[in-house]
Chain A
Amino acid sequence: MSNVKIKSKNLNVYYGDKQALFDVNLDLNEKEVTALIGPSGCGKSTFIRCINRMNDVIDICKVTGNIEMDGININDKDLDVVSLRERVGMVFQKPNPFPKSIYDNISYGPKIHGKGETKSELDQIVENSLKKSALWEEVKDRLEEPGTSLSGGQQQRLCIARAISVNPEVILMDEPCSALDPIATAKIEELIDELKKTYTIVIVTHSMAQAVRVSQKTGFFHLGKLIEVGKTEKIFKNPDNKMTQDYITGRFG
């Protein structure tokens, strides 16, 4: 039985007058991949942005309810958001490396979080992160080249390496493969499989097949509500809710 790493309790999110999430109760298991699916605008990205308090940067955004990580409410006003984001990394839809060298892309995070004080320590972090993101062999001889010189798939793995360089506990992925070709996608999926041994992963995806391939648990959102959540296999073979079934079978009008 897996431990619950993150637990959302009656989570509501408002963007001004518009409510984006309604009473979402969702448990994310430790060292498992949870996939979030649903039509655009259903609230799945809003949900994962709550896990690292990314919504804080939006002035009109208001969040009520709790999100507990290891039993501690991360919505607490006194919580140090910087250290939260050290524990919860994020990878976005479009690869967004810094306009810096491959090396600096990885070493930047550890440096600002006060990790890797000496050059050799940083070298080690860079190498380990690139190895964990399955990019090391491809870039080890060109670490000084700009991150943006890499292919799309490589850039996304660089962003994953950047996320894991500060040794987080959770990795959030918001449609990480939607801008990638099938081979690059396969490499990321292979990587997710490997990363879940160490990290708790939440992935937002529009690809049903990807959700089936990479996740153990799947949640279906619609109009800001979590409609159904369960074992991925069950959701895709025999969901309980008709709305889930209509969505995953392509019957949504």
Chain B
Amino acid sequence: MSNEHTVKSYEEELQFLKDSLIKMGSLTESQLSDAMDAVIKVDKDSIDKIIKSDEEINKFRSKIDTQIMNLLVKRAPMAIDLRETISSLKISQDLERIGDLSKSNAKKVKPLPLDLPDELLGNLKRLGELVMKQLNDVLDSYVNKNFDKAKEVWEKDEQVDDLTYIAMESVIDFLSKDKKNLDFSTHLIFATKNLERAGDHITNIAETVCYLVKGEYLKGSRPKGKVIQE
């Protein structure tokens, strides 16, 4: 018994959907990494490029939406194909939101002074690197249909929460030393919070991958780290 669909074009459409999602994922990765670099290096020249790449991501999202609608109407997918289709819809939504958050972070670079102290940016950099790693791992888990890896990402969001807390604290410390820092410090606080929210979208993707692979949702609630009260 073969694993291919009897209808070749169905097989191709599903593959095309997966490919689109993988491309969207790698675009989202680059954008997140570029936006992080821009913040850490206070690189104002790259802002426009990052904003532009968000448009690309949004285009992918609508392209994927169309592919999914066509698949639902033409093929009425079942079982693994149904889960693949619905998961693509959910994952593309989360990726788009991560893109929005990266764009928002790029915009926050503009008001930042060029001489930010290293100790202020160190924790933010670590947080950014962790979120990047999480996104990379979750996309790997999607490509390889790896339940364990997706679950690991899901559990590791606790560390994102903890690092967010630490990064926030260092910004607040810096802010409390001199009120004239207030203006740009709030931007850094938002940038930190945006990374934490990107982390949440990554855990959503991890949950979706787990459902895609096993057909059931993860039980229990995700371990949570320290959170700054909103």
Are these two chains actual partners, yes or no?
Answer: yes
> Across the two chains, which residue of chain A brings its CB closest to B215?
A238
In the docked arrangement, what's the CA distance between A239 and B214, Å? 10
Tell me whether A236 and B6 are in contact (CB under 8 A).
Answer: no
Residues of A within 8 A of B10 (CB): 250
Tell me the smallest distance from the CB of A216 to a CB of chain B, in Å.
Answer: 17
Known: A251-B1, A252-B1. A245 touches B7 (CB 8 A): no
Residues of B within 8 A of A244 (CB): 79
Number of A residues with CB within 8 Å of any CB on chain B: 16
Tell me whether A243 and B80 are in contact (CB under 8 A).
Answer: no
Near A by CB (< 8 A), chain B positions 48-66 give none
The answer to the question of A249 belonging to the interface, with a C-beta cut-off of 8 Å to chain B, is yes
Tell me whether A253 and B79 are in contact (CB under 8 A).
Answer: no
In the docked arrangement, what's the CA distance between A237 and B77, Å? 10
Q: Mark A221-253, 1 if CB is under 8 A from B, else 0.
A: 000000000000000111100011110111111
Known: A237-B215, A238-B215, A238-B216. A249 touches B2 (CB 8 A): no
Tell me whether A253 and B2 are in contact (CB under 8 A).
Answer: yes
**Which one of B76, B79, B214 has the highest number of Cβ atoms from chain A below 10 Å of its Cβ?**
B79
Residues of B within 8 A of A250 (CB): 5-7, 10, 75, 78
The answer to the question of A57 belonging to the interface, with a C-beta cut-off of 8 Å to chain B, is no
Residues of A within 8 A of B75 (CB): 250
The answer to the question of A208 belonging to the interface, with a C-beta cut-off of 8 Å to chain B, is yes
The answer to the question of A209 belonging to the interface, with a C-beta cut-off of 8 Å to chain B, is yes
Near A by CB (< 8 A), chain B positions 6-29 give 6-7, 10
Tell me whether A238 and B79 are in contact (CB under 8 A).
Answer: yes
Residues of A within 8 A of B214 (CB): 238
Residues of B within 8 A of A246 (CB): 1, 3
Tell me the smallest distance from the CB of A156 to a CB of chain B, in Å.
Answer: 23
Tell me whether A249 and B80 are in contact (CB under 8 A).
Answer: yes
Residues of A within 8 A of B2 (CB): 251, 253
Contact of B4 among A208, A248, A251 (CB under 8 A): A251
The answer to the question of B81 belonging to the interface, with a C-beta cut-off of 8 Å to chain A, is yes
Tell me whether B1 and A253 are in contact (CB under 8 A).
Answer: yes
Residues of B within 8 A of A209 (CB): 76
The answer to the question of B82 belonging to the interface, with a C-beta cut-off of 8 Å to chain A, is yes
Residues of B within 8 A of A243 (CB): 1
Residues of B within 8 A of A239 (CB): 79
In the docked arrangement, what's the CA distance between A249 and B139, Å? 25
Tell me whether B83 and A238 are in contact (CB under 8 A).
Answer: yes
In the docked arrangement, what's the CA distance between A243 and B3, Å? 10
Near A by CB (< 8 A), chain B positions 177-219 give 214-216
Tell me whether A249 and B77 are in contact (CB under 8 A).
Answer: yes
Tell me whether A236 and B78 are in contact (CB under 8 A).
Answer: yes
Residues of A within 8 A of B216 (CB): 238
Residues of B within 8 A of A245 (CB): 79-80
Tell me whether A237 and B83 are in contact (CB under 8 A).
Answer: yes
Tell me the smallest distance from the CB of B11 to a CB of chain A, in Å.
Answer: 9
Residues of A within 8 A of B81 (CB): 249
> Across the two chains, which residue of chain A brings its CB closest to B82?
A237
> Across the two chains, which residue of chain A brings its CB closest to B4?
A251
Tell me the smallest distance from the CB of A215 to a CB of chain B, in Å.
Answer: 14
In the docked arrangement, what's the CA distance between A236 and B76, Å? 11
**Which one of A209, A246, A249 has the highest number of Cβ atoms from chain B below 10 Å of its Cβ?**
A249
Residues of A within 8 A of B7 (CB): 250
Tell me the smallest distance from the CB of A74 to a CB of chain B, in Å.
Answer: 34
Residues of A within 8 A of B77 (CB): 249
In the docked arrangement, what's the CA distance between A244 and B1, Å? 12
In the docked arrangement, what's the CA distance between A244 and B76, Å? 16
Residues of B within 8 A of A248 (CB): 78-79
Residues of A within 8 A of B1 (CB): 243, 246, 251-253
Q: Mark B80-107, 1 if CB is under 8 A from A, else 0.
A: 1111000000000000000000000000
Tell me the smallest distance from the CB of A225 to a CB of chain B, in Å.
Answer: 15
Known: A237-B83, A237-B215, A238-B83. A208 touches B3 (CB 8 A): no
In the docked arrangement, what's the CA distance between A209 and B83, Å? 16
A contact residues vs B (CB 8 Å cutoff): 208-209, 236-239, 243-246, 248-253
Can you report 5 residue pairs joining A to B where beta carbons are below 8 Å apart? Answer: A237-B83, A238-B216, A249-B78, A250-B5, A250-B78
For the complex with contacts A249-B81, A253-B6, 20 further pairs of A-B residues with Cβ separation under 8 Å are A236-B79, A237-B79, A238-B83, A238-B215, A238-B216, A243-B1, A244-B79, A245-B80, A246-B1, A246-B3, A248-B79, A249-B79, A250-B5, A250-B6, A250-B7, A250-B75, A251-B5, A251-B6, A252-B1, A253-B1
